[in-house]
Structure 1
Amino acid sequence: MSNSNTYNEPQIIDNDSLKDFTEALADYAHNIESDIAHLKRFPEDQAVIANLFRALHNIKGDAALCRVDLGVAIIHPIETILDRIRSGKLQFTELLGETILLAIDRLELAMNALATGKSVSSLKLGILAEELDGLSQARQVQLEILTHQLIQSITGFRPSSTPVSNNARKHAVSPRSESTATHLAFFRSLAQQYESRSPHFEGRTARLLHLALVTNKLAGEPVDPIQLEAAIYMHDVGMMFLPESIWLKPDRLNEMDKIALHAHPAYGAGLLERMPDWQEAAKMVLQHHETPDGTGYPKGLKQDQICSGAKILAIIDAFEAVMLKHSHRGHSRSILRAISEINACNNQFAQEWIEPFNQVIRHMIEK
């Protein structure tokens, strides 16, 4: 597995075997998450360490059986680390636990990408495997430095904390008039109605609003914050015009479901377009599922065809979705794993907004 092409362009021997391994990996991930959460509180619990080792050993065995060499390469050094902890040569640390979870998540991302014919070149799998190999041979005194280094490599955080767009051209900020405040209150009430449809959505609007406004501010506020606030409230209101069986569906969507789902930005945008002074917010809502590579919806826009507010909204909406995905599987709401997934999607998000967003997340972690 030393050839870099093996990580960037792994060969699929058999699609059915890939599916079997992917499903098995998802099943193991839940128990791995639970065991690591336990070990963060009780790091010397040998029974749980043994359970975790067996889970990793079984994943590696399944990968070998299904001829998924990439799975073997990623899991083998983690298995070695767990074996050293089991024998008392290493001690479990919280950061080590987070590193293991990052590796499992990155492997799941790779399997899902391969199953759908997508490239895995942006997932940094070669770096992950190399740094896990180094970690598997590390002494205890090196552990904290190496785990921190690996997490930084995979999440894509840069050491600099200087905003990349401090000199961005500022817009003319809309005045917050009495009618504006009334409209925003109405938009917020619609967002709260959407939130009430699922216990998993509790607090969602406030989280998205904070991430969007702070990211915009770090970049020099090139987007009108009042229009951005309206877009946050309204971007998913169109979901309520769809059957709940579609947007609360835990399983994969079929093609008909996807067609219906792709209509929701136009509903929210249509409401805003019919009100005075909210045209910019309407454009953000309509475009928030467009992607720089042109594979988004509803119009397949590319790069500069997409407005900046929609680009911000796309990133924070995806971040929240990843956090929700982990909560459905019993995962702790790991900020590090969510941000690593966002940084791995090179073509899905506007790169000029990734670094300001990373800074926001970095500040959250450091608090």
Structure 2
Amino acid sequence: MPDYSALITPVIHDRDALQEFNESLVDKTPIIERDIARLRRNPGDTGVIADLFRALHNIKGDAAICKVDVGVLIAHPIETLLARVRQGEIGFSELQAEVILLALDRLELAIEAMVSHRPITNLALPELVSGLEGMSQTVESDIQSLGIALIEKVTGFRPSQAALKTRAPAAGTHPSPEEADRDLTFFHQLALQLETHSPLFQGRSGRLLRLARDTNIEAGSPVNQAQLDAAVYMHDAGMMFLSQTLWPKSGKLSVAETKALKDHPGFAAGLLERMPGWAEASTMVAQHHEMPDGAGYPLGLKDGDIHPGAKILAIIDAFEAVTLKHRDRGRGRSLLRAIAEVNACDRQFDPVWIGHFNKVIRRMVED
């Protein structure tokens, strides 16, 4: 019988280390949730599976370093399960996604309780870890039934019918033209609401939409236009959840302000992700601060893993920001300065898309 005593009466070896692990967990959990959402759309995406495996491995490593036994005990069987998925031994399912999210939620609750000097006996952690270990070690045909039993034991409820599906919905599904029109009107209204928060933002969504559409057309329209429009309208909607002192802010940002700004695309991407038919737009929004060399955020994706629509968004968003920075020099001067600055960032943007964008701007300057 495994020793689950740490899941009932945990020993806190170092309170500072516990707090450090808690902060690390808060940072990593949203990334894991986004990866699981991506896998639900495309269960066979080996890159996302590898990202998810590394994230759980890092959580287990952090827990071990900080001597948080609860974290090690919960993360280890999930890591083992994902290792089997990564090796192609088993497939990834909706039920596995539900189980992993439940485990992460219980881990967060447990750490919060430990930080606050509260008991964790009400979280059913022994049942959780026992079920996770069973799922990680059994044959694929039994994983479903063990997952159902785990969820029922830990929560008292049977999984939803959606969680019992063997495959996730296809990522390429798009809304009907009528649904798209209604949704895009809603997205546009949110973008206009953002414009009211600063005189500098007035007319912003229209400017960005024109640049995005023209750049896409210049490239031969490889990106679905409705999905791109939605991404343009929504990519900065998360700014409305931030303090207005960051809209925009000149000078150096604090660590907390930098983190808040880096979190804002996730709000809009999460909203789009939950609306049927807008998964592609959600991906564009989530990735529009990624960079071809892997130095971007939130996932550090490299060139081939970044959606073309996200590459368009990255360029036009930077161009708009630089144009505003030089607005006092007059329209012509600010456009030229913005073009020069964007083109100088050779590592930040895809050179192919910069080429298409330059042709669009050249026509704009000549008009």
TM-score (norm 1): 0.51
In structure 1, the residue matched to 2:341 is 341
The aligned runs of 1:297-308 (5 Å cut-off) are 297-308=297-308
In structure 1, the residue matched to 2:243 is 243
Q: 1:63-87, CA deviations, whole angstroms, 9 ceiling, x for partnerless residues?
A: xxxxxxxxxxxxxxxxxxxxxxxxx
Q: 1 CA distance for matches of 2:325 and 2:222?
A: 31
The aligned runs of 1:174-189 (5 Å cut-off) are 177-189=177-189
In structure 1, the residue matched to 2:269 is 269
The aligned runs of 1:110-259 (5 Å cut-off) are 177-259=177-259
Using the TM superposition, give the Cα deviation of residue 309 of structure 1 relative to its aligned residue in structure 2, in angstroms.
0.2
Q: 1 CA distance for matches of 2:292 and 2:265?
A: 17
- Pair member with larger Rg: 2
Q: 1 CA distance for matches of 2:325 and 2:286?
A: 24
Q: 2 CA distance for matches of 1:176 and 1:249?
A: 40
Contact 1:173 1:224 in 2 (8 A): no
Aligned residue type for 1:350: D
Q: 2 CA distance for matches of 1:173 and 1:311?
A: 21
Using the TM superposition, give the Cα deviation of residue 173 of structure 1 relative to its aligned residue in structure 2, in angstroms.
11
Aligned residues: 194
In structure 1, the residue matched to 2:330 is 332
Q: 2 CA distance for matches of 1:173 and 1:261?
A: 30
Answer 1 or 2: higher relative contact order, Cα 8 Å, separation at least 6: 1
Q: 1:270-326, CA deviations, whole angstroms, 9 ceiling, x for partnerless residues?
A: 000000000000000000011111111111111111100000000000000000111
Q: 1:85-121, CA deviations, whole angstroms, 9 ceiling, x for partnerless residues?
A: xxxxxxxxxxxxxxxxxxxxxxxxxxxxxxxxxxxxx
TM-score (norm 2): 0.51
Using the TM superposition, give the Cα deviation of residue 174 of structure 1 relative to its aligned residue in structure 2, in angstroms.
5.5
Contact 1:294 1:300 in 2 (8 A): yes
In structure 2, the residue matched to 1:48 is none
Using the TM superposition, give the Cα deviation of residue 252 of structure 1 relative to its aligned residue in structure 2, in angstroms.
2.2
Unaligned runs of 5+ in 1: 1-171
Q: CA 1:223 to 1:173, structure 2 compared with 1: closer, same or farther past 3 Å?
A: farther
In structure 2, the residue matched to 1:309 is 309
In structure 1, the residue matched to 2:287 is 287
Q: 2 CA distance for matches of 1:188 and 1:243?
A: 22
**Identity %, equivalent residues:** 57
Q: 2 CA distance for matches of 1:226 and 1:177?
A: 9
Q: 1:194-227, CA deviations, whole angstroms, 9 ceiling, x for partnerless residues?
A: 0110001111100000000010001011100110
Unaligned runs of 5+ in 2: 1-171
Contact 1:289 1:297 in 2 (8 A): yes
Contact 1:190 1:233 in 2 (8 A): yes
Q: 1 CA distance for matches of 2:260 and 2:180?
A: 32
In structure 2, the residue matched to 1:117 is none
Aligned residue type for 1:297: Y
Q: 1:43-68, CA deviations, whole angstroms, 9 ceiling, x for partnerless residues?
A: xxxxxxxxxxxxxxxxxxxxxxxxxx
Using the TM superposition, give the Cα deviation of residue 250 of structure 1 relative to its aligned residue in structure 2, in angstroms.
2.6
Q: 1 CA distance for matches of 2:210 and 2:316?
A: 10
Contact 2:175 2:276 in 1 (8 A): no
